[in-house]
Each structure stands twice: as C-alpha cells, then as structure tokens.
Chain A
Amino acid sequence: METFLYPLAGGLLIGLTTAIYLLFTGKVVGISGILAQALFSKDRFLPLLFVIGLIVGGSAYGILVEPSQPFPEVRSPILLIISGLLVGYGTRLGSGCTSGHGVCGISRLSPRSLIATAIFMTTAIITVFITK
C-alpha cells in the first residue's frame, strides 16, 4: 500500500502544477518545449526560470525523499548520448514528451497526445524488453 502512496502524492503534485501553470499563464507544462524555449527562443528568461526551479525541486530526491532503490550504476556515456539524442530530437519532432503529451495532453483528451503517448509507451516498453 505504502509503495503507491508516494507515486500518487507525486502525481497529484505534478497535476496541481500543470493546473496552476495553465490557469495563471494559459500555457501547457511541456518540459521538452520549455527547455527548447530556454535554449533557442528570444524570450528565454521565463522558461529558464522554470528549468532552474525544476532542477532545484528535483534535487529534493535523496535529501527530502528517500529512494526506494538505488540509482543504477553509472552507465556508459555512449548509451546515455544515444538516449539523449533520441529524446532531444524525437520530442521536438513529435511536439512533446511525458509531460506535454502524457499529462497535459491526456488531461484535455487531445487526440494527438493520446496517440503520441500510446506510441512512446509502446516503443519504450519494447526497448526495455530488448535491451534488458
């Protein structure tokens, strides 16, 4: 039971974040898009602020939040680089990632996001099945 409590609490917090951001700014919380704006747009101050907040908040892991299992041993740079390139290029080509399509898109029942989420969940599961 307890194992589901933290994921549920974290999920509620993520949902609350998307609702607050939407109702105040009118925008969708999509991390891949916000990061791209922080890097490539002319108005990069606000997206950069969001990214910094996210990194600070995420650092609570291991400090405020006890990991239920250790991090994987540091893996090969080649694997991480291939993974990063695919995630970086794929999320721009597909207009979103786990947050923009997976959370915000499904919350508003967007057909594009439902399809995108079904596809990236499927290819991720197949990739884990093959590489494990």
Chain B
Amino acid sequence: MYALITFLTGLLFGLGLAVSEMTNPAVVLGFLDIFGDWNPSLIFVMGGAVAVGMIGYAIRNRRTKPWLADKWYVPTRRDIDKNLILGSAMFGIGWGLSGYCPGPGLTALTNNPAEGVYFIGALITGSAIFHFQNHRNNS
C-alpha cells in the first residue's frame, strides 16, 4: 500500500508537471522573463498547487498521525541560515540558465533526452558533491 501510494503520487506529480507545461523549459523561461515577453501562466500552477496544499496541511493539523506512518516527517526548522540563502541563490541561477528545476529535468530524460541526460547527469554530480562533502565533514 505504501509503495503503491508512493508510485501513484510520483505519477500524478509528473502528470501535473505535464498538464501545466512545467515540463517545457521554453514555457518556464517565458515565465521567468518578467522584463521581456512575460508569460504569467505559471502563476496559476503555483496558486493552484498552494491552494490545495494548504487544505492538506489544514487536515494534517487536525490529525495526530498520517494514515500509513507513525509520525509526521515535516521539516520543523525555522532559522534562516547562510546555507539556505546561498543554496537557494545557486539553485535560482541554475534554473534561470536552462528552465529546468529537478522535476521537469527528470521528465526531460524522456521528453527531450538530448538535453535531459546532460542536465540530470550534472544535477546528480552536484548533489553527490554536496553529499560526500557533508559526509566527510560529519565523520
């Protein structure tokens, strides 16, 4: 059941990216181009997603635990640190260069593999550099 829900949420999330055209970097770059030929349509993606997401969190607040787990795993940190700021700034630059964030980048592996393989290869490399850097610092 847990595995089925996990696969289905992945599938629906991918479908949501496809329906909203987040999968197409040309559309995403048009949305980010607010000083040029701005395409505001992706505001509706964010608005729709947050509206339903808020309902989800409202239901969560009335429950003691999830249906298939013993506790909540929602992040609880509230501090604004240097890593959050620096990491988010780097992510935004990378996103603005290609129009791919992680989800749409993954879907590019099938939708536009000539781009997807380079982007995802590099994304995994960047993620691995962080992982091993941190692993060493912690041990």
Interface residues of A in 98-113 (CB under 8 A from B): 98-99, 101-104, 106-108, 110-112
Shortest Cβ gap from B34 to chain A (Å): 6
Shortest Cβ gap from A118 to chain B (Å): 8
Shortest Cβ gap from B111 to chain A (Å): 5
The answer to whether A90 and B90 have CB atoms under 8 Å apart is yes
Q: How far is the CA of A15 from the CA of B86 in the complex (A)?
A: 27
Q: How far is the CA of A13 from the CA of B83 in the complex (A)?
A: 31
Shortest Cβ gap from A18 to chain B (Å): 5
Interface residues of B in 50-66 (CB under 8 A from A): 50-57, 59-60, 63, 65-66
Q: Which residue of the partner chain A has the closest CB to B85?
A: A119
| Residue from A35, A61, A90 within 8 A of B24 (CB atoms) | A61
The answer to whether A10 and B20 have CB atoms under 8 Å apart is yes
Taking CB atoms, residues of chain B closer than 8 Å to A52 are 7, 10
Interface size on A, residues (CB 8 A): 106
| Residue from A11, A17, A69 within 8 A of B44 (CB atoms) | A11
The answer to whether A36 and B131 have CB atoms under 8 Å apart is yes
The contact string, 1 if C-beta is below 8 Å from chain A, for chain B 69-99, is 1011111011110011111111111111111
Taking CB atoms, residues of chain B closer than 8 Å to A129 are 33, 35-36
Taking CB atoms, residues of chain A closer than 8 Å to B48 are 7-12, 14-15
The answer to whether A80 and B53 have CB atoms under 8 Å apart is no
Taking CB atoms, residues of chain B closer than 8 Å to A72 are 25-26, 29, 99
Chain A residues engaging chain B, CB cutoff 8 angstroms: 3-4, 6-29, 31-32, 35-36, 39-40, 45-47, 49-62, 64-65, 67-72, 74-75, 77, 79-95, 97-99, 101-104, 106-108, 110-112, 115-117, 119-129, 131-132
Ranked nearest first, the 5 interchain pairs of A and B with the lowest CB-CB distance are: A57-B14, A10-B20, A94-B87, A88-B126, A53-B10
